[in-house]
């Protein structure tokens, strides 16, 4: 397999789904109220809250308080609503958690060593996740294996589009500057792999919790050590 760039999904690929769903999301749900009470008047946070009130309760902004906001955000979080304000606030809550050492970003045990090896061979590495760029940088910056961000050249989130859209991968190609056939995309989700493949990428499917039975015309592996990209 000849590649110059490896683009990676996070959940189910570099990191466990359990970490995101059973650690990160409950953490932000639990801490959001206290966070809003403590930081709600700081410009960065109050700006987001005003934006949210104006959008959800136009004309009634002044009647809404932190409790209303907290309730709304909790409902959205439980429904996994992909709203930019919710994502930004979750990112800020996680940032505190990581900085205080309450959170360590999960990465599968072989991932740091394999990424270092690829980097040494001259490959560039990037992340494409529906988690915000801030959340991605926090996870890899405070991972179980320390700060992995120096290994990563680019971070993409849904600002480039949905992960099941071919156009998102075309935009990423413009940004990273390598032709699509020289880029390998790693994900556990067949719809994402199909979209990337349509955009011309090489793709490989990860099976972290079940035997590797590819769900499309591409290879399937259980861990990064089974992938051997070499430079074109």
Q: Which residues bind Mg ion (CB under 5 A)?
A: 9, 11-12, 188-189
Give the nearest distance from C-beta 54 to Mg ion in angstroms.
Answer: 33
Query: Smaller CB distance to Mg ion: residue 4 or 11?
Result: 11
Instruction: Give dist(CA 173, CA 180) in Å, integer.
Output: 6
Query: Smaller CB distance to Mg ion: residue 4 or 9?
Result: 9
Query: Smaller CB distance to Mg ion: residue 11 or 157?
Result: 11
Which residue has its beta carbon closest to Mg ion?
A: 12
Give the nearest distance from C-beta 15 to Mg ion in angstroms.
Answer: 9
Give the nearest distance from C-beta 129 to Mg ion in angstroms.
Answer: 8
**Partners of 109 in beta bridges:** none
Task: Please give the DSSP secondary-structure letter assigned to residue 24.
Answer: I
Give the nearest distance from C-beta 206 to Mg ion in angstroms.
Answer: 8
Query: Smaller CB distance to Mg ion: residue 4 or 188?
Result: 188
Query: Smaller CB distance to Mg ion: residue 25 or 57?
Result: 25
Read off the tokens for 2. 């000849």
Give the nearest distance from C-beta 225 to Mg ion in angstroms.
Answer: 19
Give the other-Cβ count within 10 Å of 131's Cβ. Answer: 23
Count Cβ atoms within 10 A of the Cβ of residue 33 and give its class: 0-12 exposed, 13-18 middle, 19 or more buried.
Answer: middle
């Amino acid at each position: 397999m000849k590649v110059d760039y490896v683009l990676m999904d996070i959940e189910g690929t570099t990191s466990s789904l359990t970490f995101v769903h059973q650690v990160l999301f409950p953490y932000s749900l639990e801490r959001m109220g206290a966070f809003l009470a403590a930081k709600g008047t700081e410009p960065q946070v109050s700006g987001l809250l005003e934006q949210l009130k104006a959008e959800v309760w136009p004309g009634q902004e002044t009647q809404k308080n932190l409790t209303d906001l907290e309730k709304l955000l909790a409902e959205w979080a439980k429904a996994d609503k992909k709203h930019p304000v919710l994502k930004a606030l979750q990112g800020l809550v996680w940032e505190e958690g990581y900085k205080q050492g309450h959170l360590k970003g999960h990465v599968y045990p072989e991932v740091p060593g394999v990424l270092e090896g690829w980097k040494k061979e001259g490959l560039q590495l990037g992340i494409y996740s529906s988690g915000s760029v801030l959340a991605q940088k926090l996870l890899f910056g405070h991972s179980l294996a320390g700060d992995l961000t120096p290994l990563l050249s680019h971070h993409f989130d849904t600002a480039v589009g949905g992960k099941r859209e071919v156009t998102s991968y075309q935009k990423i190609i413009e940004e990273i500057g390598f032709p699509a056939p020289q880029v390998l995309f790693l994900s556990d989700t067949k719809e994402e792999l199909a979209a990337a493949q349509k955009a011309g990428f090489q793709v490989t499917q990860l099976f972290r919790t079940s035997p590797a039975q590819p769900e499309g015309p591409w290879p399937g592996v259980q861990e990064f050590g089974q992938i051997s990209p070499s430079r074109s």
